[in-house]
């Protein structure tokens, strides 16, 4: 459990309506429990289509939640328009592609000042905008204020996007694949900036990524998501040193292949969220079942019939896997 939690998500579900008549709803987020503390960086990791963006949007009130609860800074999700406005000031999002996020006809100054104007915070506007840009590594700010997005590099554009969020002094920043559209050479700088801002402002950050290697560099904790659910969560170093869920182990084997770890290729594709398998949602692709280890442990029938819950371990991590409940199971 997170200390001093800023955000508490309890059994959050998001289901998209069927795309065709007679179809089934897509259970894109299917029961997520997650707490994030002030000043903490949590990475939400998982392959494409597992529901990361849907969950991120749900946290920010940009996507309707079909069940469960979200408590932010001690309050349930805002019901009135005024509360929602104040919530949107304190919880900001940064998207993957800074070019798409920035209005090409607005100068850097106008872009960063926009949030202040929307929220009626125009006192000392010039000073506040300047400070936000410099805090985000664009200094001296005067050099950037009158520039337009096309005059900036990709990394500088993402810094402007982040400055536009930071100007409102948010308590929570959600960054959805914040560096995947950037050159490899500037990715580290932007991640370093997010880390610095989290520490200095005591801001909670949820970084959404499909890249476990990226999570490794930045996060205090990593949450591994599979088909709408968190299947493992724990402190970064612990989770990477001793991954417990077979899905985490497979993801990690890809990242560590260059260190001599044998890459585990998962069979098949992640199922569609309109047809989540019964039992453990990962069972059709699980190496433990395929190798016969689950049978040896006597859990194979549970894997196909019983949905494992996310269970806390003594080391503060949590895992949803029947094998980790087995006393004879040795972590890979």
Binding site for ligand ATP (CB under 6 A): 16, 19, 26, 28, 46, 48-54, 210, 273
User: Shortest Cβ distance from residue 60 to ligand ATP (Å)?
Assistant: 13
Closest CB to ligand ATP among residues 227, 289? 227
Closest CB to ligand ATP among residues 46, 279? 46
Length of the chain as a residue count: 332
User: Shortest Cβ distance from residue 273 to ligand ATP (Å)?
Assistant: 5
- Cα maximum dimension of the chain: 68
User: Shortest Cβ distance from residue 163 to Mg ion (Å)?
Assistant: 23
User: Shortest Cβ distance from residue 183 to ligand ATP (Å)?
Assistant: 20
DSSP 215: H
User: Shortest Cβ distance from residue 271 to ligand ATP (Å)?
Assistant: 9
- Among Mg ion, ligand ATP, none, what binds residue 96 when CB lies within 5 to 8 Å by partner kind? none
Closest CB to ligand ATP among residues 29, 128? 29
User: Shortest Cβ distance from residue 210 to ligand ATP (Å)?
Assistant: 5
Closest CB to ligand ATP among residues 184, 275? 275
Helix (H, G, I), strand (E, B) or coil at 291: coil
Residues 6+ apart with CB under 8 A from 261: 252, 253
Q: Does 53 sit near Mg ion (CB under 5 A)?
A: yes
DSSP states along 254-279 = HHTGGGTPPP-PPPS-PPPTTSPPSS
Q: Does 96 sit near Mg ion (CB under 5 A)?
A: no
Closest CB to ligand ATP among residues 179, 332? 179
- Among ligand ATP, Mg ion, none, what binds residue 94 when CB lies within 5 to 8 Å by partner kind? none
Within the chain, where are the H helices? 52-59, 81-90, 98-101, 108-118, 125-135, 154-166, 184-201, 212-218, 236-241, 246-255, 287-290, 293-297, 300-305
Residues in binding contact with Mg ion, number by CB under 5 A? 1
Helix (H, G, I), strand (E, B) or coil at 209: strand
Quick count: other Cβ atoms within 10 Å of Cβ 329?
18
Which listed range, 52-60, 66-74, 280-288, 299-307, lies at the site for Mg ion (CB under 5 A)?
A: 52-60
Place of tokens 């100007």: 167
Closest CB to ligand ATP among residues 29, 111? 29
- The strand pair at 91-94 and 172-176 is best described as parallel
Contact 293, 283 (CB under 8 A): no
Closest CB to ligand ATP among residues 227, 286? 227
User: Shortest Cβ distance from residue 227 to ligand ATP (Å)?
Assistant: 9
Q: CA 312 to CA 233: how far, in whole Å? A: 9
Q: Binding residues for Mg ion, per CB under 5 A?
A: 53
């Amino acid at each position: 459990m997170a200390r001093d939690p800023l955000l508490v998500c309890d059994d959050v579900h998001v289901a998209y309506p069927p795309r065709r008549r007679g179809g089934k709803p897509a259970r894109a987020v299917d029961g997520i429990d997650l707490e994030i503390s002030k000043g903490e960086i949590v990475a939400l990791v998982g392959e494409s289509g597992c529901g990361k963006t849907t969950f991120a949007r749900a946290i920010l009130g940009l996507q309707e939640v079909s069940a469960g609860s979200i408590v932010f800074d001690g309050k349930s999700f805002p019901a009135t328009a005024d509360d929602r406005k104040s919530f949107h000031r304190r919880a900001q999002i940064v998207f993957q592609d800074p070019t798409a996020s920035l209005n090409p006809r607005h100068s850097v100054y106008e872009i960063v000042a926009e949030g202040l104007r929307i929220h009626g915070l125009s006192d000392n506007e010039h000073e506040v905008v300047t400070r936000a840009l410099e805090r985000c590594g664009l200094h001296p700010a005067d050099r950037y204020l009158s520039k337009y997005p096309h005059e900036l590099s990709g990394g500088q554009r993402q810094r402007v996007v982040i400055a536009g969020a930071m100007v409102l002094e948010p308590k929570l920043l959600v960054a959805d694949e914040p560096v995947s559209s950037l050159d490899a050479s500037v990715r580290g700088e932007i991640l370093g900036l997010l880390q610095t801002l989290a520490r200095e402002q005591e801001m909670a950050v949820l970084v959404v990524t499909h890249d476990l290697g990226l999570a490794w560099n930045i996060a205090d904790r990593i949450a591994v998501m599979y088909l709408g659910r968190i299947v493992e969560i724990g402190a970064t170093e612990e989770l990477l040193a001793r991954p417990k869920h077979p899905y985490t182990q497979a993801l990690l084997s890809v990242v560590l292949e260059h260190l001599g770890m044998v890459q585990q290729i998962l069979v098949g594709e992640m199922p569609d969220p309109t047809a989540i398998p019964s039992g453990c949602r990962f069972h059709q692709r699980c190496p433990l079942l395929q190798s016969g280890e689950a049978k040896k442990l006597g859990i194979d029938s549970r894997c196909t019939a019983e949905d494992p819950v996310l269970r806390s371990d003594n080391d503060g991590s949590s895992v949803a896997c029947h094998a980790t409940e087995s006393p004879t199971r040795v972590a890979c």
